[in-house]
């Protein structure tokens, strides 16, 4: 028999290990970009995946062969109901990194039903005033300002749950003093997707992929199936060698969990932002139905339903199943081309797609 070569091509990416199930559906943002903005604004927003459709748009990227022409673009719809800032968290710098200095909580609205998510949450005026006084004494040591945002899934058309999802979002732009004033002033007030992003810009999408369950090496890593003509005694859908080749650092492909992983899609372009109304859909259904006539789907999206609140149109496909929470974030490694305005959409297919 021929001697095995000393090295072998790497099977599977080492950058996505460990390949285990995500600990939760709402991902935690582990890194934040450094942005240059005149005024403070949150750097992320949470939405719920609706489904895919397609649009016809004018290609506005210079240097491409179809520049200025109408092109076909598959897109993903993400419904983004307004979020409520329920707390502001302030960090101070230390030798071990950032440490929490204090938190200022606000009394959440009754219809938010925050008690469904945080059972032992106790907020009173004494605690709020005490936290504000501590912040005033040590305002010069604040190194980072973040907001704790709560989603409102009850406003969506496809979700039946009432439990809000919580994410911590860093503030970017302006000075630290401006960020502190912005964080304290926006507590308890609705925050819309148009306050965070603008049409045409690039974003990162963080979410959990579709789960595939326990799979073998052929489907999980793309290992070549062994020939069946010599009647493999232990099956053909397995690897031939149990140990990696000499000089390689890739582990041996093994069966295990496939999918249900936390992944980040970098530099997905935000083609359009559709803000339905500043009014609560649950309180003024007649007004909402009138406004929705402009861009209501002909039929409901499969496995989701109708759109009832703000939504965004993102170019390309996104990870996860319908109704999966996705975190939209400012890009940490933006491309060289920075669009100056939103692309022109000539046609948006809002019929249901399988």
- Residues whose CB falls within 8 Å of the CB of residue 18, separated by 6 or more in sequence, listed in order: none
Domain annotation covers residue 274: yes
Q: What is the pLDDT of residue 9?
A: 62
- pTM for this prediction: 0.87
End-to-end CA distance of the chain: 51
Domain annotation covers residue 33: no
Q: Give the rounded distance of the alpha carbon of 22 from its chain centre.
A: 14
Domain annotation covers residue 220: no
Angle made by CA atoms 305, 310, 312, in degrees to the nearest 5: 90
Going residue by residue through the chain, which has 354 residues, state the pLDDT in tens, using 9 for 90 and above. 455 566 666 666 777 888 899 999 999 999 999 999 999 999 999 999 999 999 999 999 999 999 999 999 999 999 999 999 999 999 999 888 899 898 888 888 888 888 888 877 777 777 778 888 888 888 888 899 999 999 999 999 889 999 999 999 999 998 888 999 899 999 989 999 999 999 999 999 999 999 999 999 899 988 888 887 766 677 888 887 665 544 445 577 889 999 999 999 999 999 999 887 555 545 455 554 554 455 555 557 889 988 889 999 999 999 999 999 999 999 999 999 999 899 999 988 875 443
Domain annotation covers residue 96: yes
Domain annotation covers residue 2: no
CA 102/CA 91 separation, integer angstroms? 7
CA 192/CA 20 separation, integer angstroms? 34
Domain annotation covers residue 255: no
Does residue 47 contact residue 206 with C-beta atoms inside 8 Å?
A: no
Count of structural domains within the chain = 1
Which CATH number does the domain housing residue 66 bear? Answer: 2.40.30.10
Angle made by CA atoms 303, 308, 310, in degrees to the nearest 5: 105
Domain annotation covers residue 12: no
Domain annotation covers residue 14: no
The CA distances from residue 140 to 15, 134, 318, in Å, are 39, 12, 41
Angle made by CA atoms 78, 48, 156, in degrees to the nearest 5: 95
What is the span of the domain harbouring residue 143? 41-210+260-348
Edge-to-edge order in the sheet of strand 142-150: 41-42, 166-172, 142-150, 84-94, 97-105
Q: What is the pLDDT of residue 3?
A: 55
- Residues whose CB falls within 8 Å of the CB of residue 347, separated by 6 or more in sequence, listed in order: 55, 56
Does residue 102 contact residue 135 with C-beta atoms inside 8 Å?
A: yes
Q: What is the pLDDT of residue 221?
A: 86
CA 172/CA 144 separation, integer angstroms? 9
Residue that is written with structure tokens 């989603």 in the block: 151
The 3-class SS string of the chain reads CCCCCCCCCCCCCHHHCCCCCCCCCCCCCCCCCCCCCCCCEECEEEEEEEEEEEEEEECCCCCCCCCCCEEEEEEEEEECCCEEEEEEEEEEEECCEEEEEEEEECCCCHHHCHHHCCCCCCCCHHHHHHHHHHHHHCHHHEEEEEEEEECCHHHCCCCCCCCCCEEEEEEECCCHHHHHHHHHHHCCCCECHHHCCCCCCEEEEEEECCCCEEECHHHHHCCCCCCCCCCCCCCCCCCCCCCCCCCCCCCCCCCEEECCCEEEEEEEEEEEEECCCCCCCCCCHHHHHHHHCCCCCCCCECCCECCCCCEEEEECCCCCCCCCEEEEECCCCCCCCCCCCCCCEEEECCCCCC
């Amino acid at each position: 028999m021929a001697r095995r070569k000393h090295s072998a091509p790497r099977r599977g990416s080492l950058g996505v290990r460990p390949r285990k199930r995500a600990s939760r559906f709402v991902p935690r943002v582990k890194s934040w970009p450094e942005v240059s903005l005149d005024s403070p604004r949150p750097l992320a927003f949470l939405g719920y995946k609706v489904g895919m459709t397609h649009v016809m748009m004018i290609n506005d990227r210079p240097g491409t062969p179809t520049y200025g022409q109408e092109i076909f673009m598959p897109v993903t719809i993400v419904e983004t109901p307004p979020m409520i800032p329920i707390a502001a968290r302030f960090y101070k710098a230390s030798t071990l990194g950032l440490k929490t200095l204090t938190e200022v909580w606000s009394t959440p609205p009754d219809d938010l039903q925050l008690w469904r998510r945080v059972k032992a949450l106790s907020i009173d005026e004494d605690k709020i005033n005490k936290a504000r006084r501590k912040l005033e004494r040590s305002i010069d040591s604040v190194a980072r300002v973040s907001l704790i945002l709560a989603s409102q899934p009850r406003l969506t058309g496809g979700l039946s749950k009432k439990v809000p999802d919580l994410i911590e979002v860093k503030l970017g732009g302006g000075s630290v003093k401006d960020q502190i004033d912005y964080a304290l002033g926006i507590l308890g007030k609705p925050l819309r997707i148009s306050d965070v992003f603008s049409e045409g810009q690039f974003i990162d999408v963080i979410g959990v992929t579709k789960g595939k369950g326990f799979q073998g090496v052929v489907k999980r890593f793309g290992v070549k199936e062994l020939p069946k003509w010599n009647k493999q005694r232990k099956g053909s859908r397995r690897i031939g060698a149990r140990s990696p080749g000499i000089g390689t650092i890739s582990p041996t492909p093994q069966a295990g969990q496939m999918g249900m992983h936390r992944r980040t899609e970098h530099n997905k372009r935000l083609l359009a932002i559709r803000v339905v109304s500043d009014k609560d859909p649950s309180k003024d259904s007649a007004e909402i139905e009138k406004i929705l006539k402009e861009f209501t789907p002909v039929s409901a999206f499969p496995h989701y339903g109708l759109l009832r609140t703000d939504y965004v149109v993102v170019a390309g496909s996104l990870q996860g199943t319908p109704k999966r929470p996705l975190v939209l974030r400012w890009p940490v490694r933006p491309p060289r081309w920075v669009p100056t305005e939103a692309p022109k959409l000539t046609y948006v297919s809002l019929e249901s797609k399988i």
